[in-house]
Structure 1
Amino acid sequence: MRILRSVILITIALLTFSFVKVNNSNKDKERAMNIGQEKDLKVAYFASGCFWCVEAIFESVRGVEEAISGYAGGHTNNPTYQKIGTGRTGHSETVAVYYNPKIVSFQTLVDVYYGSHNPTTKNGQHPDYGSQYRSIAFYNNNNEKEIIDRTIKKLNKEIYKGKIATEVTKLTKFYPAEDYHQNYERLHPNNPYVRNVSIPRLNRFKKKFPELLKKEKH
């Protein structure tokens, strides 16, 4: 009886933990999809390597209210971190950037995007390589597409000599990533990858665009 009771208690505990974890994840995803409507914000979508890095960069920009890590650009439904890691789902690690257009423009966000990664790398950003880390600038409408295309043309002429490999794709579906990926850099500052890759990338961006940064909270 004691063994049976122990098994039952362990099973109940595991089911409870699973429910809480799924429920919290669902709440985070619901928050991600509703935040724009609640604050009358616009949403831009960008992929340029590890979404931990990209999320932290955009969240440092004045006028950006929230950045959500997720998946987009693929051909399968309900992708997960494990599935896109195979490179077979077509998705790229993508960040949804919720911004106030009265404070920061879409053009500025595109400038941030191109100023914070190497767009000439076809599949990846050092040290992460594979189609899930490729560079994609998503657009929601023709105006956004024109801004992206115009920026690429300008940068190809002035800096990259026609070598920009960024895909320019209409956003069809964005899937928020698992809860543990959200705000990863801020919540895990001592993670080796964060220390050696994410934070240096963020600091390079801050040094390049100090005029776009939010004021430090004291």
Structure 2
Amino acid sequence: MKLISTFIFIVLASTCNTPIEKKAVQKEITPIEVSSQDGFERAYFASGCFWCVEEIYESVEGVEEAISGYSGGNTDNPTYRNHADHAEANEIIYDPNVVSFKTLVDVYFASQNIEQINGQGPDIGKSYRSIIFYQNDKQKKIIEEKINSLTNQGLKVAAEVKSFQKFWIAEDYHQDYAKLHPNQGYIQGVSIPRWRKFASKMPDVIKSSINH
């Protein structure tokens, strides 16, 4: 009896001290696909300061407009002073007959520090984290293929890949900020140098009317 009792004790002790691991199953959120309007489609990117990203994409041939705002979080009605879990992001309105989503993804990575986590350049924090959004499986595949290519080059890609849910437009004074304030210190010291670095990598996609 003593041997049996000892054996039972060892088994129970072993069971109590060895928790059964439960693998968390993360449910993939179905992306929201934004319908084309007047032949224009929309893409969404977060890559640091939205002033910089807006200026970069608006210089690309086929892009009609870039709008600054917030996305990537769950908080409703974010503002510049309180956008909580959202990142500064941009809505890119483009003509798919002129510029492809694939090219927009190339622009995204060519215009940022690919390996910088939670920020771009001097802008640090989760509000400035990099997120690349997809609206369907085709876009997701394009993004994943690009990231695989960069990874194969030895780069550690910091950007999150997320299903698109909602874009919140930022306050009016943020729209076209670089265009309206070309001599502002941040624009001169950060935005324009960042744009020039990007333009040197992808000169063929720049609108002929753009000159910095």
What's the TM-score, normalizing by structure 2? Answer: 0.81
SS class of match (1:82): coil
Q: Distance in 2 between matches of 1:145 and 1:108?
A: 14
2:150 corresponding residue in structure 1: 155
In 1, Cα distance between equivalents of 2:72 and 2:171 = 17
When residues 79 and 116 of structure 1 are mapped into structure 2, their CA distance, relative to the original with a 3 A threshold, is: same
What is the match of residue 67 of structure 1?
Answer: 66
SS in 2 for 1:151: helix
Which residue of 2 is the match for residue 109 of structure 1? 104
Corresponding residue for residue 54 of structure 1: 53
- 2:157 equivalent in structure 1: 164
> Residues of 1 paired with 2:176 and 2:202: CA distance?
21
% identical aligned pairs: 53
2:55 counterpart letter in structure 1: A
TM-score when normalising by structure 1:
0.79
Partner residue, 1:21 = none
2:133 is paired with a residue whose SS is strand
Q: Of 171, 186, 193, which residue of structure 2 is paired with 1:200? A: 193
C-alpha displacement of 1:207: 1.5
Shift of 1:119: 2.1
How far is the alpha carbon of 1:74 from its aligned partner?
0.7
**Which ranges in structure 2 are unaligned for 5 or more consecutive residues?**
1-33
**Segment drifting more, 93-102 vs 150-159:** 150-159
1:69 is aligned with what amino acid? S
The alpha-carbon deviation at position 90 of structure 1 amounts to: 1.1
In structure 2, give the amino acid aligned to 1:183.
D
Report the secondary structure of 2:108's partner residue.
Answer: helix
Aligned amino acid, residue 171 of structure 2: E
CA offset at residue 217 of structure 1? 6.9
Give aligned pairs, total. Answer: 178
Considering fraction of residues, name the structure with more helix.
Answer: 1
Give me the whole-angstrom Cα distance separating, in 2, the residues matched to 1:118 and 1:145: 21
Q: Aligned partner of 2:173: which letter?
A: Y
Amino acid at match of 1:145: K
Instruction: Label 1:217 to 1:126 Cα distance change in 2 as closer, same or farther (>3 A).
Output: closer
| Structure 1 counterpart SS, 2:81 | helix
Q: How does 1:62-211 map to 2 (within 5 A)?
A: 62-84=61-83, 89-160=84-155, 163-211=156-204
Q: Structure 1 stretches (4+) deviating beyond 2 angstroms?
A: none
Unaligned runs of 5+ in 1: 1-33
Letter in 1 for 2:70: Y
Supply the RMSD in Å over aligned alpha carbons.
1.7
Give 3-state SS (helix, strand or coil) of 1:46's partner: strand
**In 1, distance between residues paired with 2:95 and 2:203?**
19
The 1:57/1:159 distance shift into structure 2, 3 A limit, reads farther
Which residue identity does 1:207 align to in structure 2? S
The CA deviation string for residues 18-65 of structure 1, in whole angstroms up to 9 with x for no partner, is xxxxxxxxxxxxxxxx9x62x321101001100000000000000000
Larger radius of gyration: 2
Which residue is 1:40 aligned to? 39
* Residue identity opposite 2:184 in structure 1: N
Q: Against the structure 1 CA distance between its residues 217 and 136, is the aligned structure 2 distance closer, same or farther, given a 3 Å change threshold?
A: closer
